[in-house]
Amino acid sequence: MKQIQFFIFSILLLLASCSPFNRAEKKYDKGEYNEAIDFYKKAIEKDKMTAYSYFQIGESYRLSNRADEAAEYYKKAIDKGIPNRSVHLYYGMALKSQGKYKEAEKHLDQYIREGEDEDLLALGERVKTNIRFVEELLQKESWFEINNLGYINTEASEYSPMVHDGYLYFTSSRSNSNRVYKATGENFTNIYRAALQGVDIVPGSIEELPEEIINNPNINEGSVTFSPDGSLMVFARGNSGRRKGTRDVNLYQSRYRNGQWGEPELLPINDPNAWDSCPAFSPDGKTLYFASNREGGFGGTDIYTATLDGAGRWGNVRNLGSPINTPGLEMFPYISDDRKLYFSSNGHPGIGGLDLFVATRRRGQTYIENLGTPINSVKDDFSIVYLSPNQGFMSSNRDNGMGSDDIYYFKDNSPALKVVKYFLTGITNTPTEGQEVIYDSLKTKEILPDTRVRLLDAGGKQIAETRTAKQGNFRFEVEGGRNYILVGEKDGYFTTRKEFSTIGKSIPQDELEQDTTIIDFKTELTLDKLELEKSFVLENIYYDFDKADIREDAAIELDKLVLLLDDNPTIRIELSSHTDSRGDDNYNMNLSQRRAESAVRYIVSRGVKNSRLVAKGYGESKHIIENAQTEEEHQINRRTEFKVIELLDENAIRQEELQQKSLEERIQWDN
């Protein structure tokens, strides 16, 4: 009999644990808010914990960034007599995001009278105070125009635009994996990019970043940013919704090497118990801004910074403090080229949910300004990025969009904006004396007239072209906040390229004194003479002791030689390795040969034909400094060089390329 009673009790216990309400609670605790909503609704149908279930539905919508949908359920929870006083705070905030300011104040007042949580009371006071500024913000004069960037948006979410090297990067839940993120009910988000032509998206250019490296079909990838030189990508990556692995959203970095992004690494600045996201580089690449809800902040999420030390490690995490951060949410920081901080917040006086703000430093004080309408709406407006001083992109979930979050283009037509024109001026020259190092400037140079100079964008697309005059001078108009490449070409000289950046060199509007200001950036482009058997030292090609493996720092230098070989397709070179005088002669000869061959193999792996390269080890037979004594002198002898040993026939190269192309087309046709 006791066994039967125990069996019946176990069945009843099992049925109770499988009830919609209990399942809803489990889903909610796991952060699977979208599924929790469905089970709470089923519990309400069975009249189970009705007031509480309505409140939990509202919370599930709020915590999955759907405050608009939360309002209805907070109201129902209040009508059913929910005892939880915080419902009035969250209902008031939801009403504000619907533009119902008077009703919002009423519920905020009730929470301020009855609430007990100090942090939530501070937030309630802040939101109520901010509502008083809404009328002023709505009447603020604005010259902005804003348009939905239709081609890029879908019924899914598109947000967090970032411009880099001629591409617009963004986050989207348009994923084809059909794997649903249980918190929102949408697909997992991935990072995409689209080619830009001015401010327009190039049709057919939208592509997903490499899935096997950056995007994971079962994890959310979010906001992305790039270092000014493009060598480092930092992005946010969430969990799978199952609370396994890392607890929440964290920041990762990936390095760009050998033409591809490397395996992402978890940044040491993450707090394992917090949400860390919304990364943004400073114009000089030495500071990373991000948002976090870690302990010790002002409330909600705050904006923090981390700095890069001399060894390339991130650390020195610092909260930006007041007046930037508030008891509310501060997130999506962006540093413009004129050193202004843009961010989104619901803790500063705003029109709706998240509003966009700009913070500037003047005379030692920080001033915060709401960007006003139409940039801001009663909904969430966030994640702004500038293309130029008066135009850029942003995200919003405002009404009449194509999805829950869309990307918009904006332009500031203010007549008060002053014009700055940037020019890159320089001269072309060639070395006349000194030890010749092909990548370094030399003391004495000779002007090189009638040189073809091309200006390319960071992606290699040509923008402009000119020929230098008698004095070797050239001039191009450029834009602030961009990376460029100069390419110099002249018969009898190495085709040479040089990188140039205007990032971090723009002048803030409030520092301009004239309506139009002309800024000239100075540079020079040095072309080496293309002579047979003339040796050039490759700087910083180091090997570990007694080894011939190519180290990462050596690979960076060898990549420059790969680029030079690509730019000069008619040269065939000898790449040589030299040792110092320490050690056995025969051993040094063999070691230098192995090192030269290792370097050649690396260059071939980067797409250069093996027939254009000869590896030669000279051991200690060709020292620059005889009888070297100091380590510095030994280092000068222990070098890697190259020299041109043959000039190939251009027509023969072209013919070979045509034959190869024809062969590839035949193979493709046969397949």
Q: What is the DSSP string of 516-558?
A: EEEEEEEEEEE--B--BT-EEEETT----TT-----HHHHHHH
Which pLDDT value is given to residue 663?
57
Three-state DSSP state, 454: strand
Q: Is the pTM of this model over 0.75?
A: yes
146-166 residues labelled b (16+ CB within 10 A) or e (exposed): bebbeebbeebbbbbbbbbbb
Rounded Cα distance, 76 and 476, in Å? 64
Rounded Cα distance, 444 and 457, in Å? 30
For 100-110, write each residue's pLDDT tens digit.
999 999 999 99
The answer on pLDDT for 84 being more than 80 is: yes
Rounded Cα distance, 92 and 94, in Å? 5
Exposed, middle or buried: residue 259 (CB in 10 Å: 0-12, 13-18, 19+)? exposed
The answer on pLDDT for 607 being more than 60 is: yes
Mean pLDDT throughout 387-412? Answer: 92
Q: Which residue spans of the chain are classified as CATH 1.25.40.10?
A: 17-138
Exposed, middle or buried: residue 525 (CB in 10 Å: 0-12, 13-18, 19+)? buried
What percentage of the chain carries pLDDT values higher than 90? 48
- Taking domain 535-655, whether its CATH number is 3.30.1330.60 is answered by yes
| Radius of gyration, alpha carbons of the chain | 31
Q: For 51-60, 235-244, 352-361, 462-471, which range has the lowest pLDDT when averaged over its residues? A: 235-244
The secondary structure element, H or E, covering residue 564 is: helix 552-567
Mean pLDDT throughout 408-414? Answer: 93
The answer on pLDDT for 521 being more than 90 is: yes
- Are the C-beta atoms of 191 and 202 separated by less than 8 Å? no
- Are the C-beta atoms of 273 and 294 separated by less than 8 Å? yes
Neighbour tally for 589: CB within 10 Å = 16
Task: Give the CATH class of 17-138.
Answer: mainly alpha
Map tokens 């999420």 to a residue. 301
The answer on pLDDT for 429 being more than 80 is: yes
For 30-77, write each residue's pLDDT tens digit.
888 999 999 999 989 887 678 899 999 999 999 888 888 899 999 999
CATH architecture of 144-412: 6 Propeller (2.120)
Q: Tokens standing for 341? A: 């901080």
Q: Tokens standing for 260? A: 């591809």
Q: Which residue spans of the chain are classified as CATH 3.30.1330.60?
A: 535-655
The answer on pLDDT for 478 being more than 80 is: yes
The secondary structure element, H or E, covering residue 585 is: helix 585-605
Exposed, middle or buried: residue 532 (CB in 10 Å: 0-12, 13-18, 19+)? exposed
The answer on pLDDT for 187 being more than 50 is: yes
Rounded Cα distance, 316 and 309, in Å? 9
The answer on pLDDT for 17 being more than 70 is: no
Q: Which residue spans of the chain are classified as CATH 2.120.10.30?
A: 144-412
- CATH superfamily to which 419-526 belongs: Immunoglobulins (2.60.40.10)
Which pLDDT value is given to residue 479?
86
State which amino acid sits at residue 494: F
Which pLDDT value is given to residue 569?
92
- Are the C-beta atoms of 576 and 617 separated by less than 8 Å? yes
For 261-301, write each residue's pLDDT tens digit.
989 999 999 998 899 999 999 998 999 999 999 999 998 99
Helices marked H in 296-400: none
Which pLDDT value is given to residue 147?
95
